[in-house]
Structure 1
Amino acid sequence: MSRKSGESKPLHGGYKPQLIAQVDQKKGGVNTQVVMTNYKSQKHDVPAQSTNGSTVPLVLGNPNNDVEAGDYDPYQHRNITHPTSDMDTLIHLLKGSLGSGILSMPLAFANSGLYFGLISTFTIGLICTYCVHILVKSAHTLCRRMRVPSLGFADIAETAFLAGPKAFHQWAKFAKACINLFLVIDLLGCCCIYVVFVAKNVKQVVDFYAADDYKFDTRIYMAACLLPLLLFNSIKKLKYLSPFSMIANILMAVGLSITFYYILTDNPTEEQKAERVVENIVSPIHWPMFFGTVIFALEGIGVVMPLENNMKTPQHFTGCPGVLNIGMFFVISLYSSVGFMGYKTYGKKAEGSITLNLPEDKILAQSVKLMIAAAVFLTYALQFYVPMEIIWKALKNSYQNRPTLAENVIRYSLIVLTVGIAICVPNLGGFITLVGAVCLSTLGLIFPAIIDTVTNYEDPGMGRFKWRLVKNCLLVTFGLIGFVTGTYVSIIEIIYG
């Protein structure tokens, strides 16, 4: 027998999705909700997401016909005006993953050892890549169950708990809030690191030419960044930031090329050789610093779902070889090369940014520091855009009378906050490790494993010998160990380093 009009295929646990559409006469649009309905009791539970101001797009076509015809295919319902090709997505993935963190890789190797660091970087990189795979796979499963075209990172967590067993439903909003919170902390933390990075590089160049009376503390340079940042971040449209992003990419590429030149042609004195001690493996007490720095440098999970959701052929994102695997292999190889060569050249003297190890009296080296400092400064606005969007989306309904004023106050207050935190914590290496350990171990390792467990809790289940549960428990344990030890060691480094 065919199902009645308005019915859809039940989910496991007695729940099924329904699409409710209401025409908004004032706005001339459609306000659509996807709700979880118990087909036994016909009582509605908490809405999974509303497309009015949400990241979940509208479902196109007739969902009931899709069910009658077979399994729902989310790829066929994505209404993308300008979809990206596989090459475009690969370039964006590299751009999102190759940031200032690459400059801290020699310091990471200094906290692990030359060969142990090389092996561990590839291992952590593979684990991070696998976690991205299970996150994307969970998103596809949930899209089919909820019959929506695509989901954002936080929406995946919320939907996983709503589409799972009823006992998990109460945690849906909490899961979404947690991911948004850690995304905001992570990205604002990166903005703080950028302020420290710019100040230290500019100070090193200025100090070479300045008299002793004009050699100011690093915090003065950080404070001097405040006004330019306030002015620059008055640009609110992402499209107007694109030219600055292009300039930043060019400056970063040129700066990294010259940095490699200095690393490969370095000719240290005997005294410098004695100071630049290189070990194959260091004491385990330093490994948490290594973990935090590497996870900070490698983890780009925040850009994954937007990239996959906007692909012309999203089927090519995962798989073998797949856009994700190709991109991450290139990223891991490049980061490992910079870390290996940088540590081999500068040893224990490796700084929080490899540019700080370049000669202070060479004009070419000075230009590198200024170029990369400028590139990082220009990247600040792009990095700041996402947390500002998350925060403003959560608060804007409370400021409907004067939204522009409220948005500006929040925007400029957050910028002042990032500069203030940077002034209070000028330890670049410790700061990088802290952000990596606290935010990226949770976003990149713990949350994907939890989402995979909840998504597959009943269908298809945990598998023979509960292998899925065991595997995800190991990932969560690995993430928690990195979180706790990395946070503790980085705080100690910040206080006493």
Structure 2
Amino acid sequence: MSTEKDNKGSVFTLSDFNSTTVLTEKVENGKESEYNPFENRDPKSSNSTMGSLAHLLKSSLGTGILAMPMAFKNSGLLVGALGTIIVGFICTHCVHILVRTSHEVCKKAKVPALGFAETAEKVFETGPLGARKYSRFARAFSEYGLVLTYLGANCVYIVFIATSFSNVLNSRLGVDWDVRYYIAVVTLPCIILGEIRKLKYLVPFSAIANLCIVVTFTITLYYMLSSPIKLDRPKFSSFGQLPLFFSTVIFAMEGIGVVMPVENSMKKPQHFLGCPGVLNTAMFVVMSLYTVIGFLGYAVYGDAVEASITLNLPKGEPFAEAANILIAIAILFTFGLQFYVPMDILWRKIGPNIPKDRHNMSQIMFRAGIILIMGGVAAAVPKLDPFIGLVGAVFFSILGLCIPAIVETVFRYPDDLGKFNWIVIKNGFLVVISVIALITGSYTCVLEIIEMYTGKHHK
């Protein structure tokens, strides 16, 4: 991936994955000064602090926020509100330690910036002797984690788009077509958008998607605030439903894949962390909105709440139908940007093995084939709520919680683990949370999927 001018302004740039160019350090008074990675970044392709905040907010406010009322259904009003805040703090902390570790390893390795997978690789490569042999594995694990996370999220997008169109068209046409028919149709424009290989051509789609999301949120809030808000909903659901709550919130809130690109492209990266800082400001806004939407959605619709709150809007009303169509268009137009990241990683691995004169046709077929597979997966699990929970439990828990905790521990081992080795204890706790979310969330979601096919309820 190159730093072409057409990539300027995008959050997915060279700093996302390949940024290991070593720059010469300064020498003052005959002594080598400490390497400052911020001073060696390319200022021409940098984003302002406010621009970086906008990018981070845009990446975090997507389909996940529309699933928050369903998450509250699986937790209850009180537990949902407290749980969303707790998960938000945990996710924010994991981003903090990942970015801070990346800054420190940049100084140590004398490189201006590192992406997510590169940070994991360099931490092991420059870490304890026993860990260095695992550096390539750490990078590969992180890269394929990113690939599977984005592809899994895109599968959810296909189901989301198809479900939204199905909700409107079935009502309008007076038919009861299975959502799988809509998935088959939606897969075709996804293939077209997935063939776009340059970020500059995705910018107009992203702009339209942002406008559609704003209008959808406005309409959805109008309907929710115009309906009776019932605060007598259960404050706590059941322990059996909590895994679905946590996996859904992790899916909705976790944006670990775009954090490093945003931070690496900042003109003043020292403003990313700290108080208030770009990260803290963005996560405060995200936690607040997610908590409010989840609380209001469940308080209004109760157990009838759908996996996307837009599906609860009144059928037959023009504004409600417009909200469903607009959010479907928004997610469809976001598909190309989300698909760009995994394809960039995969093509860099397989491209060198293909003759250059066959690159174009090979890319076309490869991208189309991947999307067709994703469409098949979406058709196999055409129900939104267990699919969202499964992707959150399997991929985002590992990528967003487990890897940052391990990376920080390896980097600080053995001499910088704090008093009583509290960093090991804290990060061990994060890994345990990640594993519990993985196991319980996956188990619960798989049971939901089995129930969908068999009609049998599993206790």
Q: The TM-score by the shorter chain falls in which range? A: over 0.9
Contact persistence 2:17–2:114 (CA under 8 A):
no
Q: Among residues 190, 203, 218, which one is paired with 1:242 in the alignment?
A: 203
Alignment of 1:436 onto 2:399: no
Task: Return 5+ residue gaps in structure 2 as ranges.
Answer: 1-13, 453-459
CA shift for structure 1 position 232: 2.5
Cα displacement (A) at 1:363: 1.1
Corresponding residue for residue 306 of structure 2: 351
Q: State the distance in 1 between where 2:95 and 2:336 align.
A: 26
Counterpart of 1:171 (choices 130, 134, 147) is: 134
Contact 1:430 1:494 in 2 (8 A): yes
Following superposition of structure 1 onto structure 2, how do residues 410-425 of structure 1 map, counting pairs within 5 Å? 410-425=366-381
What CA distance in whole angstroms lies between the structure 2 residues aligned with 1:381 and 1:160? 31
For 1:257, the aligned partner's letter is T
Q: 1:77 aligns with which of 34, 40, 51?
A: 40
Partner SS for 2:405: helix
Structure number with greater CO (CA < 8 Å, separation at least 6) is 2
How far apart in 2 are the matches of 1:64 and 1:142? 20
User: How far is the alpha carbon of 1:403 from its aligned partner?
Assistant: 1.5
Q: CA deviation at 1:231?
A: 2.1
The equivalent residue for 1:36 is none
* Correspondence for 1:184: 147
How many residue pairs get aligned? The number is 437
Specify which structure has the higher proportion of strand. Answer: 1
Q: What is the rounded CA distance, in whole Å, between the counterparts of 1:81 and 1:461 in structure 2?
A: 36
1:66/1:230 CA distance change after superposition, 3 Å = farther
Partner of 2:6: none
In the alignment, does 2:446 pair up with 1:485?
no
Hey, what does 1:20 align to over in structure 2? none
- Counterpart of 1:163 in structure 2: which amino acid? T
Note the alpha carbon deviations across 1:431-470, whole angstroms, 9 max, x for none.
Answer: 0000000111111110000000000003x42122111111
Q: 1:54: how far off?
A: 6.3
CA gap 1:67/1:281 in 2 versus in 1, 3 angstroms: farther
Q: Per-residue deviation at 1:472?
A: 0.6
CA displacement at 1:278 relative to structure 2: 2.3
Give the Cα–Cα distance (whole angstroms) in 2 for the partners of residues 66 and 408 of structure 1. 56
Task: Say whether 1:282 aligns with 2:237.
Answer: yes
Alpha-carbon distance in 1 for matches of 2:188, 2:58? 27
Alpha-carbon distance, 1:67 to partner: 9.2
Which amino acid counterpart does residue 295 of structure 2 have in structure 1?
Answer: F
Distance in 2, Cα, partners of 1:400 & 1:457: 44
Aligned counterparts of 1:414 and 1:355: Cα–Cα separation in 2: 29
- Report deviation, 1:66: 10
Cα distance, 1:76 vs. partner? 1.0
**How far does residue 405 in structure 1 lie from its aligned partner after superposition?**
1.7
Q: Secondary structure at the match of 2:44?
A: coil
3-state DSSP of counterpart to 1:229: helix
Alignment match of 1:456 (pick from 407, 412, 417): 412
AA aligned opposite 1:376: I
1:372 alignment counterpart: 327
Aligned pairs for 1:2-401 (under 5 A) are 55-62=18-25, 68-212=31-175, 215-267=176-228, 278-401=233-356
Q: 1:68 deviation in Å? A: 2.5
Structure 1 counterpart of 2:383: 427
The answer to whether the 8 A contact 1:59-1:77 is kept is: no
Aligned to 1:446: 402
**SS in structure 1 of the partner of residue 19 of structure 2:** coil
SS of match in other structure, 1:81 = helix
Give the partner amino acid of 2:240: I
* 1:261-298 superposed Cα distances (whole Å, 9 cap, x missing partner): 00111259xxxx9xx98210011110000011000000
CA offsets per residue over residues 284-341 of structure 1, 9 Å max, x none?
A: 1100000110000000111111111111111110011111101100011001110000
**TM-score normalised to structure 2 length:** 0.92
User: Secondary structure of 2:45's match?
Assistant: coil
* Structure 2 residue matching 1:311: 3-state secondary structure: coil
Tell whether the 8 Å contact from 2:17 to 2:118 is kept in structure 1 after alignment.
Answer: no
Equivalent-residue separation in structure 1 for 2:162 and 2:437 (angstroms): 29
Q: CA deviation at 1:183?
A: 0.9
In structure 2, what is the equivalent of residue 21 of structure 1?
A: none
Maintained 8 Å contact 1:219/1:426: yes
Contact map agreement 2:405 2:431 (CA 8 A) in 1: yes
The offset of 1:165, in angstroms, is 1.1
Q: What CA deviation, in whole Å up to 9, does each residue of 1:59-100 have, x standing for no partner?
A: 333466799242111111112323111100100010011111
Q: Name the CA distance, whole Å, in 2 between partners of 1:437 and 1:152.
A: 23
**Alpha-carbon separation, structure 1, partners of 2:419 and 2:305:** 47
Shift of 1:181: 1.2
- Other-structure match for 1:44: none
8 Å contact 1:63–1:147 — kept in the other structure? no
Q: Which amino acid aligns with 2:431?
A: V
Do the aligned residues in 1 keep the contact of 2:26 with 2:33 (CA within 8 Å)?
Answer: no
Residue 233 of structure 1 deviates from its aligned partner by 2.3
8 Å contact from structure 1 (residues 66, 72) kept in 2: no
Partner of 1:37: none
| Residues 225-234 or 312-321, more deviating | 225-234
Structure 1: state its 5+ residue gaps.
1-50
CA displacement 1:219-274 (0-9 Å, x = unmatched): 00110112222223222111110011000000011011100000111259xxxx9x
Paired position in structure 1 for 2:449 = 494
Q: CA RMSD in A?
A: 1.8
Q: Is the 8 A contact 1:277 1:347 kept in 2?
A: no
CA contact (8 A) 2:97 2:405 kept: yes
Distance 1:298 1:65 in 2: 45
Aligned partners of 2:338, 2:112: CA distance in 1, in Å? 27
CA shift in 2, pair 1:267/1:120, >3 Å? closer
Residues 169/257 of structure 1: CA separation in 2 closer, same or farther (3 Å cut): same
1:17 matched residue in structure 2: none
Using the aligned pairs only, state the percent identity: 44
CA distance in 2, matches of 1:483, 1:65: 50
Query: 1:351 is paired with a residue of what secondary structure?
Result: coil
> Structure 1's 237 and 157: CA in aligned 2 closer, same or farther, altered over 3 A?
same
Distance 1:126 1:54, change over 3 A: closer
Q: Distance in 1 between matches of 2:286 and 2:121?
A: 30
